[in-house]
Amino acid sequence: MKWAFIGAWFVAANAAWGQDAQQPVRPGPTAQAPAAEMKPAAPRTTQPARDPRLEVTPAEFHFGEIWAGSVCKREFTLKNVGTEPLKLLADSTCGCTVPTQPKSPLEPGESCTFAVTYDTKRVGAANKKVTLRLADTRAALWEIPVEGNVKPVYAATPPSPITFEGLEANDVATKTIKLENKYNEPVSLKLVQPKSESPFDIQLKEIKPGMEYELAVTTKPPLHKGFNRGQVLLETGLEGIDKLEFHVSANIQPRVITTPMRLTVPPDLATPTEATVRVQYRTDKPVKVLDVRTNEGAVEWELLPAPALSPTAKLAAHQVRVVLPLANQLPPAGAELIITTDDPSPEFQTLKIPIGLGPPTAAAPARTPQPQRAPAPADTSMTPGARPGS
């Protein structure tokens, strides 16, 4: 995130890292597990980059098994063994693995140190890497694998993060999480009260002292549209282990959504274009389309039959097929497709989709002219201003 090779590597690495010899799993700033207890990471598909101009000690970061919330950090020494200065930068594969920046430029024969920290709030196996690059070309000089396993002090059921979906701004909903002690001894938890502006109310209830808790998270209306985020912080009282952290979010979306939100007509097309507008709604609060119209006669539309829904579907949609005119048939101010629904909220009773000029289409290969055909009979269901069911 072969076994003979890894075993041999650990023998050599332990000799070189005498000062970093791994200790039994106990809380502490750099708590680490014995090499024998480390859960192996997934096999690498490629060998890490190793540039002969740079010497890195140690070459890899294996932190074994540690408890969530422990400090997981290692310092590395870099030496320029080449003949030219090296302008260096360090980056990582994700935000959970954070390197400091090494000295740059690093002159020939010069050494420096930099550190890598892994965020142990993320429970589970780690298989990341930190890459040392040339700053000017971003070419990889050296890759440092970061591997190990983070064990939870308390396991959450269902697992974190705590997510609310399908809510509206004024909905009150509660989710209950069971917390079960996975530590070697009883650990009493204490809730850090969230800020007053948090969109969530948090309650912690002890079920079995030091062993089992119940965490209740309730939304606090009004919630704003989009993502409402918060976090639960629990103090453990354990030395060297930071607060336990659980992320909470509620994604508040409009009850009725039209997609796309805007229709465009490419200025370089010689034939009308066709598009489909979806009016999406929640199946527990169904919506009917009462009327469709446009304020421009050159725009044609047809309300398509509603598709069959599965019994478990949470979302459904009405579909409106729209034929857009040529660009020179649109008024300078554009046009609108106007959809009327029976939703009880005025916000969703009248839905307007603007129609305007868009960017030119990509150049297409020339086509062989085709013989002209007689126009087909007019389709009364697609005439300008047609209405549902007409």
Do residues 328 and 299 both lie within one domain?
yes
Indicate the average pLDDT of the chain: 84
Do residues 210 and 266 both lie within one domain?
no
With respect to residue 382, please indicate whether it lies within any of the assigned structural domains.
Answer: no
pLDDT value of position 25: 36
Highest mean pLDDT: which range of 14-18, 294-298, 375-379: 294-298
With respect to residue 2, please indicate whether it lies within any of the assigned structural domains.
Answer: no
The encoded tokens of residue 218 equal 């309730």
With respect to residue 136, please indicate whether it lies within any of the assigned structural domains.
Answer: yes
The encoded tokens of residue 74 equal 């290692």
List C-alpha distances in Å: 386 to 163, 274, 300, 323, 351: 43, 16, 7, 12, 17
pLDDT value of position 380: 40
pLDDT value of position 317: 95
What's the N-to-C CA distance of the chain in angstroms?
59
Q: Above 60 in pLDDT, residue 12?
A: no
Q: Are 115 and 75 in contact (CB under 8 A)?
A: yes
Q: Above 90 in pLDDT, residue 33?
A: no
The encoded tokens of residue 17 equal 């890292």
Do residues 277 and 241 both lie within one domain?
no
Do residues 296 and 347 both lie within one domain?
yes
Do residues 183 and 307 both lie within one domain?
no
Give the count of domains, the chain: 3
Name the pLDDT band for 237 (thresholds 50, 70, 90): very high
Q: Are 116 and 130 in contact (CB under 8 A)?
A: yes
Residues 49 and 145: their CA atoms lie apart, in Å, by 10
Pairing of strands 73-80, 111-118: antiparallel
CATH number of the domain to which 179 belongs: 2.60.40.10
Pairing of strands 154-157, 174-181: antiparallel
Do residues 169 and 278 both lie within one domain?
no
Do residues 125 and 146 both lie within one domain?
yes
What domain range is 48 assigned to?
Answer: 16-151
134-138, 209-213, 219-223, 379-383: least confident range? 379-383
Do residues 333 and 213 both lie within one domain?
no
- pLDDT tens, 95-106? 999 999 999 999
Task: Name the more confident of 130 and 386.
Answer: 130
Name the pLDDT band for 386 (thresholds 50, 70, 90): low
Q: By three-state DSSP, how is residue 4 classified? A: helix
Q: Who's near 241: CB < 8 A, 6+ residues apart?
A: 27, 67, 68, 69, 70, 153
Closest among 258, 230, 235, 261 to 246, alpha carbons compared: 230
pLDDT value of position 65: 95
- pLDDT tens, 325-379? 999 999 999 999 999 999 999 999 999 999 999 999 865 444 444 544 444 444 4
Residues 128 and 97: their CA atoms lie apart, in Å, by 7
Q: Are 369 and 276 in contact (CB under 8 A)?
A: no
